Amino acid sequence: MPADVETMFYAGQVPWHGIGTALPEEVNAEQAIKLASLDWDVETAKIVTNDQKRTAVDDYRVTRRIQDNAILGVVKKSFKPIQNRDAFRLFDSVVGEGKAVYHTAGSLQGGSKVWILSKLPGVMEIGKGVGNIDEIERYLLLSNAHDGTRPLQMLFTPVRVVCSNTLGMALDIRNGSDKVTRLAPRVTIAHNIKAKQHMKEAGRMMKAALNYYEKFGDFANFLYARQVNTVQVKNIISEVFPPNQKREVTPTIAQHRMAVEDLFVSGKGHDKIAGSAWALFNAFTQYADHSWAVSAAKKSKEPADRAYSIWMGGAKGLKQRSGRIIGEATM
């Protein structure tokens, strides 16, 4: 199996993660699965101890790539692989049968995790009619884990154009609510015997949730219009980065706080949104994507782990926590 960076492609400008093979134009699903080297299948196999007794492990299986027998993970017996081609077809059904174009696609962590990113048409203009316009591009992300660590997921990933921050703000849009919560509109499908049945419903569910971007725009404009003073900024940052269990503000915690406070003033594009709650949220997202996630990648020595942290890991959690706290503090 090639290294992760060799199983990615991107179309158009170099993406923020800076890895993968450049293509002259965006591609469709059939091309994407081949160009990203994802045209392979996964199967489960029994686990047997490597000794004279050759004891079988009944409750667990390994997942492996059929083409080269590479082991992708250890899963429960009930795990049913969702093949890459089926995931791509599901994506087509959401964005539009035969019309989906993929911006980037690839695999992470040796093929155990697969992802597809599609750019939706149109640009959101935050602050239009009020002040300087801050543009947000709309993306839809699908991730599938062949190692059993998470279900297949489809979720929204707004990206701020001026600095390429993946915003990932979590909004609860049920019953018309604008309340910020830990839950973003998404589709999750477990790897079990009912997966195919649920995948048939996934397209309908995700299309119904597309009003997320309308709600996201409303909330972003709300933050744009709210000015926050120095005390509010410090209190919010302290709540996002609280003292440890011993109620101590360690040097690391203090460093996190100071970095976000500095970015609130000097973050990229903040001259146009200065002093607003929107600027504060973007200070957190810039820190999460360009410092927090970079640190995670350095620790693992895998550049692709930055993408994982931003979309599905620690950086994503930091952004969602900060969005919730800022929303609650300014409502």
Kindly tell me the burial class for residue 4, based on how many C-beta atoms sit within 10 Å of its own C-beta (0-12, 13-18, 19 or more).
buried
Q: Which amino acid is at 237?
A: I
The CA distance from 140 to 120, in Å, is 7
pTM value surpassing 0.75: yes
Question: Rounded to an integer, what distance in angstroms lies between the CA atom of residue 161 and that of residue 181?
Answer: 24
Distance CA 209, CA 188 (A): 13
Q: What is the mean pLDDT of the chain?
A: 80
- The DSSP code for 25 is S
**How much is the pLDDT for 249?**
95
Q: What is the predicted pLDDT for the residue at 8? A: 67
10-residue mean pLDDT profile of the chain (331 residues): values are 50 62 68 83 93 87 95 94 87 63 78 84 87 87 89 83 73 43 59 77 63 81 93 96 94 95 94 94 91 62 65 79 87 77
Opening angle at CA 302, ends 298 and 307, nearest 5 = 90
Predicted pLDDT of residue 304: 62
91 and 105 Cβ atoms separated by less than 8 Å: no
pLDDT of residue 243: 95
User: Between the CA of residue 156 and those of 44, 66, 207, 302, what are the distances in Å?
Assistant: 30, 31, 12, 25
pLDDT of residue 240: 95
Query: So what's the pLDDT on residue 12?
Result: 66
Provide the pLDDT for residue 90: 78
Q: Where are the domains of the chain?
A: 4-39+83-208, 220-330
Bridge partners, 76 (sequence order): 60
